[in-house]
Structure 1
């Protein structure tokens, strides 16, 4: 056979193969992420997946069938340690499809969904293998954090949420710095600062490189009975000019929609609003329940704004601010009915200087210190009752006398003496805001 004929046959074969491959879905890569409450397997594909997922027993397996697909990657490179998956194998089916089998080592419940291309990945098929809640180390950690105490009184619990994670990288800088890695590093610095401070206990919402839904993040903070929730992020924009840090609190619109959806879910009727020592809603009628949740949402939003301003003031001393005041938005992760929260954008990954700073451990440590100083400054001045910080402040505080004059209100007196209304009532053993001219009140000195 002549060389010319060989070249023609080779060209025809390549052309035919390219036609087949263009019509076939190709699995180009597999990635696996281990989270406390689930394991996520991601298949990178050349087109949207036509698939089905089902389970088999004796032994336990999860089977993924892909229509008209081929596998063009190795399976033995997957790190399966502690994933609940013992092995992954694949084979072509007679109908041209591809079957991927996951041999399980523990009870896992699968669910699947497809994702469209983003700036990092193409088409993807995601298989989430869910564990029971009781097996979740994150949930268990939340339950244990509730018991945190210092010297007989409970600690103030700060929930620290590192944004994104796992398959969701967040913003990506020009030097390929991933937001998910930067914010986890900042969160760990913040955790160390909280842990080292008497009367305070940290709760890490995300402890590794895996994804947690926005709803689950705030649920975990509530399960830990957190006094405050701070979500750490890094921004991005279509142009490289914007830079600097921002702080966000929940908006009125976000609070209103959250309250409505919360009250619409019947299972929340048996919930407890207000964290430690909160109010059980189960025995209340709909109107009273609505009032309680409304008060909790209003307090949560206002405290978020107050702490946010404190954090922003601390950030101002170490970095440029993108916005000079606390912004308000309906971020889903902030929509807890009774855990005050803020979202801190630590800088812009799309800005070269910010990306370079955020890649520095020393800079991340300063950011964490600023965030912590802002949160601690607020809670040192306004500690929740029955906490160690509250007891320390009460024991060290001195008082003077104030005689009520015409035109005085209890709230006005509280504001002038820089004390909360509830604290002023407590100091004076009052169960209402009614005062009379000539009444002598104890107020904090200085």
Structure 2
């Protein structure tokens, strides 16, 4: 009897090992949806759980491959109809593992692509989103409307804390709310002196503004970016250094999902409100635009954060070796690229003393401004003067330069350089950076 019991235990353990080692098909493709047309197409895979996946392109012929790990599909690909003409056909193919599922999108031409996942938002569950875009539209149309008026890039500058909220207080009594307001005003002044840019101060005095209202003020100003200026602190005096923060992925997902549940807020979103208001196709298209706008906003925040970090790293000590990602409430407006900038540690006596000096504040402000300029030169928002200057170069004035000589070398008029740089005279200084229109 004992022998049979021992055999039964061994068989049970063996069976448990076999089942544990065999990967379960944990996920299921329940539906595939399409949006857009011709040059821009979105493919949405509705899934039963969060996917593990890989997306890559192949050429000759052009196609996009989507591999979903431990997944089976309930979709009959032969019955799918894609909008536009970019996706010719969707088909299944042999995956690298028998437990995986592979979809292939046969394309009519080469296309760039992006992909991301979305958490459940009723009535949808988990989703894998693949966006495809072509450089040249398949169907060319000739524009007959007049070009839209060019506008300034709007930068919302948020001085942290204020009013009844002093923020951190340094050993010498420096209050964060006062320091951040001083630096914010300096930054706003520099931005307003830059052609094609305009600053909006979230608070311009010692007043209290709650975190939600800060984002709302930036939204009402139709800001292209929000910079929240702060000073850090710790329970011991040793930590020091500045930092740049962007919204974490988890907080970004939560805030985007909140937007998706608040349809009445759609038309207020910066960068997508008008498009959503005029969109045809109902709720699904509106949700697509909200999601797409949020993804672009987060990408812009990360790009701007990296440029600003790089410039700050040249003039001050940084607390961390790169841009950090945190769940910070002031950054939660996912339709506006948002950054939190820590100028240094007030709890560090040496850094507190340095942060109070005009010279160090000017270094920080100049670095932040340079990072902003670099970002917007390379990523100009639509219908802005920066976009109009898409064909511009930056020129740093050297010893012996004159405005007329610079204009002659670049084949432009002196008046054009003066206008684009808001110069009231032809006087220039060594080290000054000028924007020069290309010919």
Matched, 1:164 2:149: no
Matched, 1:190 2:187: yes
Match for residue 240 of structure 2 among 243, 255, 260: 243
Cα distance, 1:265 vs. partner?
A: 2.8
1: CA distance, partners of 2:286 / 2:214 = 24
Q: Name 1:47's counterpart in structure 2.
A: none
2: CA distance, partners of 1:284 / 1:326 = 39
Q: Name 1:129's counterpart in structure 2.
A: none
1: CA distance, partners of 2:301 / 2:339 = 6
Q: Name 2:202's counterpart in structure 1.
A: 205
Match for residue 363 of structure 1 among 360, 364, 368: 360
1: CA distance, partners of 2:340 / 2:178 = 17
Change (3 A) 1:174 1:392: same
C-alpha distance after superposition, 1:154-191 (max 9, x if no partner):
01111100000000000000111000000111101100
Q: Name 1:294's counterpart in structure 2.
A: 291
2: CA distance, partners of 1:171 / 1:357 = 16
Match for residue 350 of structure 1 among 347, 357, 360: 347
Matched, 1:255 2:268: no
- Name the SS for the 1:279 alignment partner: helix
Q: How does 1:51-130 map to 2 (within 5 A)?
A: none
Matched, 1:220 2:217: yes
C-alpha distance after superposition, 1:44-79 (max 9, x if no partner):
xxxxxxxxxxxxxxxxxxxxxxxxxxxxxxxxxxxx
1: CA distance, partners of 2:251 / 2:281 = 25
Match for residue 261 of structure 2 among 264, 267, 273: 264
2: CA distance, partners of 1:318 / 1:295 = 36
Structure 1: stretches of 5+ with no match in the other structure: 1-150, 398-444
CA contact (8 A) 2:223 2:270 kept: no
2: CA distance, partners of 1:255 / 1:248 = 13
C-alpha distance after superposition, 1:275-320 (max 9, x if no partner):
6855327876443333222212211111111110100111111111
1: CA distance, partners of 2:253 / 2:222 = 22
How many residues end up aligned between the 2 structures? 248
Match for residue 323 of structure 1 among 307, 311, 320: 320
CA contact (8 A) 1:271 1:280 kept: no
Q: How does 1:273-292 map to 2 (within 5 A)?
A: 273-274=270-271, 278-280=275-277, 285-292=282-289
- Name the SS for the 1:164 alignment partner: coil
Task: Output the TM-score relative to the length of structure 1.
Answer: 0.53
C-alpha distance after superposition, 1:224-265 (max 9, x if no partner):
111111100001111111100000011111111101122223
CA contact (8 A) 2:157 2:228 kept: yes
Cα distance, 1:386 vs. partner?
A: 1.5
2: CA distance, partners of 1:332 / 1:381 = 28
Change (3 A) 1:346 1:247: same
Change (3 A) 1:368 1:277: farther
CA contact (8 A) 2:259 2:266 kept: no
- Name the SS for the 1:268 alignment partner: helix
Point out the more displaced range, 386-395 or 216-225. 386-395
CA contact (8 A) 2:157 2:202 kept: yes
Matched, 1:304 2:301: yes
Cα distance, 1:267 vs. partner?
A: 2.6
Give me the CA root mean square deviation: 2.2
2: CA distance, partners of 1:281 / 1:160 = 30
2: CA distance, partners of 1:396 / 1:293 = 34
Task: Output the TM-score relative to the length of structure 2.
Answer: 0.54
2: CA distance, partners of 1:256 / 1:276 = 20
2: CA distance, partners of 1:205 / 1:333 = 12
Q: Name 1:375's counterpart in structure 2.
A: 372
